[in-house]
Amino acid sequence: MTTLLFSHDSSLSHLTPPGHPERVDRITAVSRALNAPAFAALDRREAPLAGEAEVLRCHAADYLAKVRAARPGEGLAQLDPDTFLSPGSYEAALRAIGAAEAAVDAVLAGEAANAFVAMRPPGHHAERGRAMGFCLFGTVSVAARYALDHHGLSRVAVLDFDVHHGNGTQGLLWDEARAVFVSSHQMPLYPGSGAATETGAHGQIVNLPLRPGSGGAEMRAAWEAALARVSDFAPDLILISAGFDAHRDDPLAGLNWTESDFAWITGAICDLADRTASGRVVSCLEGGYDLAALAASVEAHVTVLMERGA
């Protein structure tokens, strides 16, 4: 077996205004990196289109209708100060969900130990009834509910190492006792949530705020303790919100992670998956806005997934 890679050209059709950090060039950089000879063994699959009913696993029907109605025939529509729709955005967002769910299907079926979903727009800021922070739908949250309800899993872990707090994921899973959510993030920073005191309706949410300017040593200490808690939860599947904007070169934040830190946390998550989930991991791209740092960090992340999935 090898690692699955889900992608689709619709990610290139989600357009944002000139100068916007969440831009088409991000997916181009990721694709170029993963087309290198070192990644030839990836099992490459096309992201399927999710049905709108899948969005409703986490989002309100009136919000889905609002996004659908806001789709522009040309140009751009704005849903919040940071989040835009172009004519191709709706399909891209549905295919991101479709890819995450297809990855869950394949990993649970034993077709591969793990998968990486290289799709945009990202999703971890989207709330039940509003777009936020470049995100339309909570892709990973929807995939978690899909694993629990469609596949009948008992416990799922969602682990988020994006530099920004996954407020959307936290809100969408706040009342879900079957899902543990762990987020490390710089604090203070957008969106302002993610204090350690925010623990969920069942004590199943773990926030790891990191001080500006901190680096890999602080991150590793925080995650080692958190992963021990997740191990006690014994998830059947691990989903990753893989943001790479904690990199020291990223323009939107101030943490000092390097590619070796992303490799370390990927390996630590895979160790946990080996103990509790038969190695089953599905990772979905979130942030990362310096193109060179994003490409190098994705390379480090996927290299470890491939080594562990072989």
Q: How far apart are alpha carbons 202 and 178 in whole angstroms?
A: 9
Average pLDDT over residues 100-116: 98
Q: Are 177 and 260 in contact (CB under 8 A)?
A: no
pLDDT above 90 (res 77) = yes
Q: What is the pLDDT of residues 119-151, one digit of tens each?
A: 999 999 999 999 999 999 999 999 999 999 999
Percent of the residues in the chain that have a pLDDT greater than 70, as a whole number: 100
Angle, vertex CA 214, rays to CA 174 and CA 240, nearest 5: 40
Q: Is the pLDDT of residue 296 over 90?
A: yes
For the whole model, what pTM was predicted?
Answer: 0.98
Residue-wise pLDDT for 147-199, tens only, equals: 999 999 999 999 999 999 999 999 999 999 999 999 999 999 999 999 999 99
The tens digit of pLDDT for each residue in 190-230 reads: 999 999 999 999 999 999 999 999 999 999 999 999 999 99
Exposure string for 167-185, b = 16+ CB within 10 A, e = fewer: bbbbbbbbebebbbbbbbb
Q: Which domains does the chain have, with CATH numbers?
A: 4-309 (3.40.800.20)
Q: Which are the catalytic amino acids?
A: 125
Is pLDDT above 80 for 1?
Answer: no
